[in-house]
Amino acid sequence: MTVGPSPRVEYREKGGVWRESHPKPAHLSVGRMAARMFGNHQRNTQLYTVALAERLVAAPSDHSRDELMRLVSEAHRVPAQLQFRLVFVMREGEELISEAIYKSELFAAEDFL
């Protein structure tokens, strides 16, 4: 069995710069780590987002696309038109190569809130 890269979900406001959606925290305090042992909604959402992205690549469906639109809208809560894309990051030797494999149409964030 070969383990491949998981897609990263990035978003942007209309015409803006692409940013990672649902990024992992850069630092966690000891107290925060302990609290995460009992419940970690953010990590569950990250895992669900990756599962939806993988599903959208393998077998595109309106449900997966709409759920990703909803999750991006809820995470960033900006009253704007948004777009998301799925990016695979792979290592080739010492170099990291990223490839966008799916890009959504623009959508109104408020339609998913």
| Tens-digit pLDDT profile for residues 6-62 | 789 999 999 999 999 977 777 778 877 776 667 778 888 888 999 999 999 999 999
Number of structural domains (the chain) is: 1
Residue 55 lies in a domain: yes
Model pLDDT, residue 17:
95
pLDDT class of 112 with cuts at 50, 70, 90: confident
Structural domain that includes position 89 = 8-19+30-112
Say if 58 falls within a structural domain. Answer: yes
Give strand ranges (E) for 14-77: 19-20
For residue 89, tell me if it sits in a domain.
yes
pLDDT band at 3 (very low <50, low <70, confident <90, very high): low
Does the residue 105 lie in any domain? yes
pTM as predicted: 0.82
pLDDT value at residue 67: 96
Query: How far is Cα 98 from Cα 78, in angstroms, rounded to an integer?
Result: 26
Residue 45: phi, psi to the nearest 5?
A: -65, -40
Does a structural domain hold residue 25?
A: no
Residue 1 in any domain: the answer is: no
pLDDT of residue 2: 57
